[in-house]
């Protein structure tokens, strides 16, 4: 029982704090943080655990969002089904493109994903405008039916749903970290040749990681779609390609709670600073430069060993 | 010369055979008509100066470099063109000279990686050879000393009971006491596993080896399998 608690306590504490934060914050802000954290989690996993930087996360966000939107606009009304279909779309697309993309070196990987984001943007804006309605977007809030227990059409209920989904997702990533597969992901990032010596195929490991990360991103896209009741190509605009990477680095790449911390910091600064400073992005940029020069660990990456040392009173080299 | 326990069930047929292997890096040929053979339980050493082609030879056997010509057979299976992880799964493992383990993983996690790939979770064989590792299980690889990393690399590689271990300069940069420990480990390992060791420590080589290949400028210039001939001063004639 104690061991189970030890495994869970971090997740419970993090989400308890998030729940407490919700009491003091506006609902839209809280929903934005949850969804953005999920969006960033995929990028953080790819960058921090597998060593792949991707500037194409908006592509998979759009796949998830449009997968959900097409269902809710043209075919059905149940938002839960829409979310499942959005995740499925993300799984299928990432499985197909990932088989090619993960064979590339890290710098080419970053660019090919960016290219995919541009392709999907133009597909949704121009090429498939007849079904996506181009820049006007797809509006389906009125199409969504009420769902029992938690009515996803209501922002307060949506928050509870997204909160539970996020908690389940973080549990999954924590579990993944503790498995052999999690060790393989880190090992392929550290030294892929060494992993070959042991009999592992780096391609299989990276492909699976790519699918997991981008299915997570597609989930975020689906949640955005259901929350807003609307999807437009702006969700995958190339200008937003760096957003998840920025938040990943801000929070701490590869850490479990870095995406949450980064999302709170980024969204908070965007909301707060923009009231006082017109060019709030300048402040974010300066903060990123500082983080890079200070050791690249990000906010949570820096705080985590300090907190662990304070709570457990262990030397950090033993962890 | 080391005395080997009679290997039950193993015949005298060669387990690893390299014939006429030529290897190039781009347009630059670095290995010329290499021939090498290893029997089960044999300790074979490759000696030579830096840049002679010893590591290239091991890497081509391990599948990391594709020969431009020649054959490499292991247990009657052709290795040329196979992926390194396939070669490792077949029971031929390569331990590189850089002594780098997965620095962000603990000793335990490093061993788990070795176990999962081979389905061999018997770590007693590792801790029996390297008792020091028992007390280091929760230490991250990046915080191990050079000797401890070498122990971990060898320990990880022997999981799954490989038939052949290719070990590249295992004693480079290590303290004499660790070198002595490794000498005993290699003698113990050779009872069940054939070893192909690239080494520049000639006294170690001559103590444990059944056969020595001298490599010079990309060519195997001599093969010494006579017990009396494997002595430091004879090895040096070819370097």
Q: In the predicted model, what is the mean pLDDT of residues B142-157?
A: 92
Each residue's pLDDT tens digit, A117-142: 999 999 999 999 999 999 999 999 88
Number of domains into which chain B is organized: 1
Closest CA to B159 of B102, B99, B198, B113: B113
**Edge-to-edge strands of the sheet including B43-47?**
B92-95, B164-168, B194-198, B43-47, B211-216, B219-224
- For residue B11, is it within any domain? no
The percent of residues in chain B predicted with pLDDT above 90, rounded, is 68
pLDDT value of residue A69:
96
- For residue B209, is it within any domain? yes
- For residue B1, is it within any domain? no
| CATH code: domain of residue B34 | 3.40.50.300
Q: For B157, which residue in chain A has the nearest alpha carbon?
A: A198
ipTM: 0.73
The tokens for B214 are: 């001298």
- Whole-number average pLDDT of chain A: 89
- For residue B6, is it within any domain? no
Range of the domain at B35: 16-237
pLDDT confidence bin for A284, thresholds 50/70/90:
confident
Handedness of CA B195, B48, B205, B35 (dihedral sign): positive
Q: In the predicted model, what is the mean pLDDT of residues A159-180?
A: 94
The percent of residues in chain B predicted with pLDDT above 70, rounded, is 91
Q: Any CB–CB contact under 8 A between B88 and chain A?
A: yes
Beta-carbon-side half-sphere exposure of residue A5 (alpha carbons within 13 Å): 2
Closest approach of A215 to chain B, Cα-based (Å): 26
* Interface test mutation site (partner A, options B117, B126, B136, B167, max chain A beta carbons within 10 A): B117
Q: Is the confidence at residue A279, as pLDDT, over 50? A: yes
pLDDT value of residue B7:
37
Residue B4 near residue B41 (C-beta atoms within 8 A) = yes
Q: Is the confidence at residue B231, as pLDDT, over 80? A: no
Q: In the predicted model, what is the mean pLDDT of residues A273-291?
A: 78
Residues 185-204 of A with CB under 8 A from B: 186-187, 190-191, 193-201
- For residue B4, is it within any domain? no
**Edge-to-edge strands of the sheet including B28-38?**
B28-38, B16-25, B69-74, B77-78
* Interface test mutation site (partner B, options A199, A204, A206, A253, max chain B beta carbons within 10 A): A199
pLDDT value of residue B36:
95
- For residue B29, is it within any domain? yes
pLDDT value of residue A270:
80
The shares of helix, strand and coil residues in chain B, as percent rounded to the nearest 5, are 35, 25, 40
Q: In the predicted model, what is the mean pLDDT of residues B39-62?
A: 92
Q: Is the confidence at residue A275, as pLDDT, over 80? A: no
Each residue's pLDDT tens digit, B88-105: 999 999 999 888 889 889
Closest approach of A53 to chain B, Cα-based (Å): 19
> Cα A236 to the chain's mean position, in Å?
14
pLDDT confidence bin for B170, thresholds 50/70/90:
very high
pLDDT value of residue A40:
95
Each residue's pLDDT tens digit, A19-69: 887 888 888 889 999 999 999 999 999 999 999 999 999 999 999 999 999
3-state secondary structure of B222: strand
- A200:B62 CB<8 A: no
pLDDT confidence bin for A286, thresholds 50/70/90:
confident
Closest approach of B121 to chain A, Cα-based (Å): 13
pLDDT confidence bin for B237, thresholds 50/70/90:
low
pLDDT value of residue A82:
96
Residues 15-44 of B with CB under 8 A from A: none
Q: Is the confidence at residue A114, as pLDDT, over 70? A: yes
Closest approach of B149 to chain A, Cα-based (Å): 13
- For residue B3, is it within any domain? no
Non-local (6+) Cβ contacts of A19 within 8 A are: A163
Q: Any CB–CB contact under 8 A between B101 and chain A?
A: yes
Q: In the predicted model, what is the mean pLDDT of residues A181-196?
A: 91
pLDDT confidence bin for B238, thresholds 50/70/90:
low
Q: Which helix (H) or strand (E) holds B205?
A: helix B202-208
Each residue's pLDDT tens digit, B171-206: 988 888 889 999 999 999 999 999 999 998 888 888
Give the number of residues written for chain A. 319
Q: Is the confidence at residue B67, as pLDDT, over 80? A: yes
Q: In the predicted model, what is the mean pLDDT of residues A92-103?
A: 96
pLDDT value of residue B232:
59
* Interface test mutation site (partner B, options A177, A194, A254, max chain B beta carbons within 10 A): A194
Strand B194-198 versus strand B43-47 pairing type? parallel
Contact list in A for residue B83 (CB cut-off 8 A) is 196, 201
Closest approach of A184 to chain B, Cα-based (Å): 7
- B96:A186 CB<8 A: no
- B117:A200 CB<8 A: yes
pLDDT confidence bin for B3, thresholds 50/70/90:
very low
First to last CA, chain A: 22
Q: Is the confidence at residue B11, as pLDDT, over 90? A: no
Give the pTM: 0.84
pLDDT confidence bin for A170, thresholds 50/70/90:
very high
Q: For B95, which residue in chain A has the nearest alpha carbon?
A: A197
Strands in chain A per DSSP E = 138-139, 230-231
- For residue B90, is it within any domain? yes
pLDDT value of residue A6:
65
CA distance A138 to A43: 26
Q: Is the confidence at residue A316, as pLDDT, over 50? A: no
């Amino acid at each position: 029982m104690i061991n189970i608690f030890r495994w869970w306590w971090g997740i419970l504490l993090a989400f308890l704090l998030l729940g407490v934060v919700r009491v003091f914050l506006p609902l839209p802000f809280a929903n934005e943080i949850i969804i953005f954290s999920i969006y960033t989690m995929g990028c953080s996993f790819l960058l921090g655990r597998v060593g792949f930087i991707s500037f194409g996360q908006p592509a998979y966000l759009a796949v998830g969002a449009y997968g959900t939107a097409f269902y809710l606009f043209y075919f059905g009304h149940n938002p839960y089904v829409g979310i499942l279909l959005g995740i499925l779309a993300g799984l299928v697309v990432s499985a197909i493109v990932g088989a090619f993309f993960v064979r590339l070196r890290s710098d080419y990987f970053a660019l090919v994903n960016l290219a995919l984001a541009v392709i999907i943007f133009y597909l949704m804006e121009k090429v498939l405008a007849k079904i996506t309605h181009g820049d006007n977007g797809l509006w389906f809030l009125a199409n969504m039916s009420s769902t029992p227990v938690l009515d996803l059409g209501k922002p307060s209920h949506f928050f509870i749903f997204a909160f539970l989904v996020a908690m389940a997702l973080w549990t999954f990533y924590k579990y993944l970290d503790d498995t052999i597969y999690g060790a393989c992901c880190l090992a392929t990032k550290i030294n892929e040749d060494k992993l070959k010596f042991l009999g592992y195929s780096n391609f299989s490991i990276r492909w699976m990681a790519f699918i997991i990360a981008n299915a997570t991103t597609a989930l975020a896209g689906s949640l955005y779609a259901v929350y807003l009741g609307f999807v437009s190509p702006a969700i995958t605009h190339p200008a937003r390609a760096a957003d998840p990477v920025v938040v990943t680095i801000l929070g701490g790449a590869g850490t479990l709670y870095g995406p949450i911390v980064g999302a709170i910091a980024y969204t908070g600064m965007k909301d707060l600073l923009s009231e006082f400073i017109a060019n709030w992005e300048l402040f974010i940029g300066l903060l990123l430069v500082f983080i890079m020069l200070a050791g690249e660990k990000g906010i949570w990456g820096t705080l985590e060993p300090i907190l662990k040392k304070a709570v457990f009173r262990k030397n950090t080299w033993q962890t | 010369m080391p005395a080997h326990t009679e290997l039950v069930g193993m015949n005298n047929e060669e387990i690893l055979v390299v014939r006429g292997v030529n290897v190039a890096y781009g347009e630059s040929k670095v290995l010329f008509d290499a021939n090498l053979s290893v029997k089960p339980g044999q300790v074979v050493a490759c000696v030579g100066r830096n840049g002679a082609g010893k590591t290239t030879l091991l890497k081509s056997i391990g599948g990391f470099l594709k020969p431009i010509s020649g054959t490499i057979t292991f247990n009657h299976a052709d290795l040329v063109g196979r992926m390194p992880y396939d070669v490792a799964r077949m029971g031929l493992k390569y331990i590189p000279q850089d002594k780098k383990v997965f620095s962000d993983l603990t000793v335990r996690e490093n061993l788990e990686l070795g176990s999962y790939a081979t389905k061999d979770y018997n770590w007693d064989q590792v801790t029996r050879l390297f008792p020091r590792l028992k007390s280091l299980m929760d230490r991250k690889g990046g915080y191990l000393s050079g000797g401890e990393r070498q122990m971990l690399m060898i320990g990880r590689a022997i999981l799954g009971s490989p038939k052949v271990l290719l070990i590249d300069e295992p004693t480079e940069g290590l303290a004499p006491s660790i070198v002595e420990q490794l000498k005993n480990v290699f003698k113990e390992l050779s009872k069940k596993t054939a070893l192909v060791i690239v080494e520049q420590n000639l006294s170690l080589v001559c103590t444990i080896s059944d056969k020595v290949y001298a490599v010079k400028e990309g060519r195997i210039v001599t093969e010494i399998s006579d017990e009396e001939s494997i002595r430091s001063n004879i090895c040096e004639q070819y370097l």
